[in-house]
Amino acid sequence: MQDRKTVIEELKAQIDRDKLPSHVAIIMDGNGRWAQKRHLPRTAGHKEGMERVKEIVEVASNLGIKYLSLYAFSTENWKRPEEEVNGLMKLLVQYLRMELNNLNKNNVKVKTLGNISGLPKLPREEVIRAVELTKNNNKMVLNIALNYGGRDEIIAGVKNILKDVKMGKMEIDKLNEEIFQDYLYTKDQPDPDLLIRPSGELRISNFMLYQIAYTEFWFSNIYWPEFKEENFYQAIIDYQKRDRRYGGI
């Protein structure tokens, strides 16, 4: 049986660096089930999931991915027990405090997707600090989706369009896809080429509903805390084997 290092090197060798997806999005799912399967508290799963975030961000940056979007906390996640929500917020603060200098040193720009005004004070301040510190970096954009919902994003965009029309800043008849994209959180970014979802679920869970019209999906039965470098490479390899026709022949 090959050791892990050999497997990783063999997978990396299969990747065509000229055909990398520009934008990869990941629904980081399965932390709680990973923990429960091991008779651990759900918080243990989230902590292990944070380790995977650190690993995959570094792997994606080193590979040459230009945009990486991570679904960290959805608008629906507020329905979870208060203890778990508080734990997730503490992990967000911990991740940013531990990794921010490293992200900045590696020329990674941190951006957010979602309504961060709805976050508690401390995590909100840490997120704003991370965005400000890294705003001039240009190797990779790391989008962290926080208090994010795809439907909310679209509705917010429509409301802002209506405000601009009312103020005379835009003519409604000139609205097209390109202009509409300027009202989304991903303004000035390409749509995801590849969406990765571990955990065995086969749904989108309200993530980037507008942007994924022609995104390639890659599903896996492993939980996010088990998703490592070699799994990321496998997703890229599978993506590169696909024929993206965008409705053509």
pTM (2 d.p.): 0.96
Q: How far apart (Å, rounded) are the C-alpha atoms in residues 87 and 97? A: 15
Q: Are 249 and 28 within 8 A, CB to CB? A: no
- Of the residues 77, 104, 160, 206, which is catalytic? 77
Tens of pLDDT, residues 98-116? 999 999 999 999 999 999 9
Please say if the pLDDT value at position 137 is more than 70: yes
pLDDT of residue 85: 96
pLDDT of residue 194: 98
Q: How far apart (Å, rounded) are the C-alpha atoms in residues 73 and 71? A: 6
Tens of pLDDT, residues 172-212? 999 999 999 999 999 999 999 999 999 999 999 999 999 99
Could you give the percent of the chain with pLDDT greater than 90?
96
Residues forming a β-bridge with 183: none
**Stretch 71-81: mean pLDDT, rounded?**
96
pLDDT of residue 197: 98
Tens of pLDDT, residues 13-54? 999 999 999 999 999 999 999 999 999 999 999 999 999 999
Q: Would residue 152 show up in a list of annotated catalytic residues for this protein? A: no
Q: Please, what is the average pLDDT of the chain?
A: 96
- Of the residues 3, 18, 29, 182, which is catalytic? 29
Q: In what order do the strands lie in the sheet with 67-74?
A: 108-113, 140-148, 67-74, 23-27, 194-197, 216-219
**Stretch 55-74: mean pLDDT, rounded?**
98
Per-residue tokens: 159 = 């409301």
3-state secondary structure 19-86: HCCCEEEEECCCHHHHHHHCCCCHHHHHHHHHHHHHHHHHHHHHHCCCEEEEEEEEHHHHHCCHHHHH
Could you give the percent of the chain with pLDDT greater than 70?
99
Q: Would residue 77 show up in a list of annotated catalytic residues for this protein? A: yes
For the chain, the maximum distance between any two Cα atoms, rounded to a whole number of angstroms, is 67
Residues forming a β-bridge with 59: none
